[in-house]
Structure 1
Amino acid sequence: MTDGTAAPLYCLMFVSVFAFVSADQKNITAESGQDVTLPCQTPNNKNILTVEWSRADLEPKYVYVHRDGRFDPENQHTSFKNRVDLQDRQMQDGDVSLILKDVMINDTGTYECRVVQKGTSNKNSDPVCIVTLSVDPPDKKNITAESGQDVTLTCRAPNNNPISVLKWSRADLGDEYLLLYKNKQFETDDQHPSFRNRVDLQDRQMKDGDVSLILKDVTINDTGTYECIVIAGGGGRPKLINSTNLHVVPPGQTGGDTEDGGKEAGSVGLKVGLSVPALLLVAAVVGFLIYRKREKNKESRAVPDSC
């Protein structure tokens, strides 16, 4: 038996546990550079005082706060400035979904949405939605080129905003770069000496976001991973558009896919395949000439002397 206070206490514990596990939980995977919507729905938009989107691993933890009918930028984490907004600021039908623009790998994490309504306290309130976001890195491209060739490293930036900064770099070069476009001109102060007069944009007007780089007369020393970084609009943060692994080999070796001599074996096989028919042809010609010479000798011996 239990006393009269046990049942209310049990109900209170049950309600608390139910409130916690009933939070809507979702997993979302996005590609770097995309705009992502973190969905969240409350029963209705009546009496909503505050909507808080946060990430516990950040300091400050707030991604977006909507308070008293407007966006509250205080205590917002700097990495989300000018990148987040509610999908519907009117929050019709309880829609408090968050739009996160131009995601990057550092945006990977678990986001929580808390809603405070009239007559409730925001202290230690449970989240109504939990969204785990995973952001995949930009696509990596692999290019193999022969020494002496001109190579195009393709890159396309979003064309909805003008490009204010473009930088092509290679991780092992430190602070030096291949090409830097800034303040509507090309900078050369910290350009790596080995790339001077060897690089140019495929389209200097960068139409439709085309910021592909032409690398002329490549050498084996040009082997490495190249990164295309863009800042679009009047400001904002640098965005890695893509990276390209360039492998430069001696002439005649671009067809190979392995580094363990597989290509060399293929080349040797080709040479042998071509030399066998040639040897057979030579042998046939030599045999025919020997045969003709013997026949002539036989005919000369068969003819009697005229003396």
Structure 2
Amino acid sequence: MQRLLELWILGLLAVTAVRAQSAGGSVNGGPDVQQSIGRTVTLSCTYSLSGSAALREIKWYRVSDAGDREPVLFYYPGEVAYTYGLYRNRASLVNTDSAAQEASLRLSNLQFSDNGTYECLVGAGGGGLQPWEGSAEINLVALVAPNDPVITDDYNSASRNLTLTCTAYTGNPAAYLTWTRDGAAITTDVAENITSWRGYLDAQSRISVTVSSAQSSTFQCTARHPAFSAPQRASVTLRSPSVSTITVNPSPTLEQPLQELDDVILTCTTQEGTVPAPTYEWRHDGGALPASAQQYRNELKLFSAQIEDSGTYTCTASNTFGSDTGETTIVIGERTDNMPEAQTGMPAGTVVGIVIAVLAAVAVLAVVGFVCWRRRQSNELKIPPDSPEEPAAVVSTEPEEEKDEEKLNLMEEKKEADPEEVKVETQGEGHAEVAKKPDPDQTA
């Protein structure tokens, strides 16, 4: 019985080593591969053919989770290798010599989209044998280094429970996270979670502790990843907050002191990595804040500061372990330069917008006016359908002889009134008679 079990195990190992085989040969896929994006990777694949069988083709596919096959590279002996889609000009065979019996695939400039399972298919034939093909699969992991780990905290003051969450964003595969407390590994009550965003993986690890004012500890989260040259770490410490600085923006100088109507921002900074995260309280000269002041977490903003807002501002940071206070003094003087843009009128961008709007309106009115004028001109040139027509020219139908006689009578009347030389044409006869004024010398 033991002998049969050993033979079964050996047979299983042989099937695993030779992923796909048949009577015509075998195809052996290499180990799974991990490589950082941007680099060159090789997917190993070898084959062996039996008897007189000859290589017919080598094909590489990328296999989706649903089982669909996307062509990567096709090769036929004696021809060039054909590449497809996103693999064009990036995929090639390591060796095309059939004597080497190698079908390994080389991918350059590895992309995150290359991540997945690949199938190496080898086909053979000839020698009077039936066509044969075999295949093997190799998994490729395109390594994407995640961001450095960050720790966030959530403190419940009622239960004094502190939850620490360590996150390493957008990696492939997800980062491996571990915790220590004062150097000792935390292995219990650790909640882990991996979420996906556009194919990238976010790793999260969460622990919860009960906070005591007499207890101070340092918690460290370590992220390990194949793309990291060394583990990356983040740490926080249970302790009382310590105010390190209070900054003023804009920072006053002798040349540019703070002036009335400036917007002034005060920022209270505590020692980094302190948990629970402190709360902040601001005071002005030991009393209430100016009416224009607004606080958001560790920042205090004075809108359009006034001269009376000058004085000492204190920031008190507190948590369950204690508190600390820092202070700074600001002096706001009379404005000596032009009023700020917000006080003197509309911003330049608003003025420009109004000017553009006015010009656009003028242009529209000009176009409308021009169209109306053209339409009016066109209407004036047209004759209304019901307007009376102009009288047609009257053509005389009188006989030509009557016209000639009438003309002669007129000429006679004119000669008596003005005895100048008059020429009368008789159209009917086609000749002319000339009447001249009598010469005084001849008359005499």
Q: TM-score if structure 2 supplies the norm length? A: 0.28
Q: TM-score if structure 1 supplies the norm length? A: 0.39
Q: Greater share of helix residues, 1 or 2?
A: 1
Higher relative contact order (CA 8 A, sep 6+): 1
Q: Greater share of strand residues, 1 or 2?
A: 2
> Which is higher, the Rg of structure 1 or of structure 2?
2
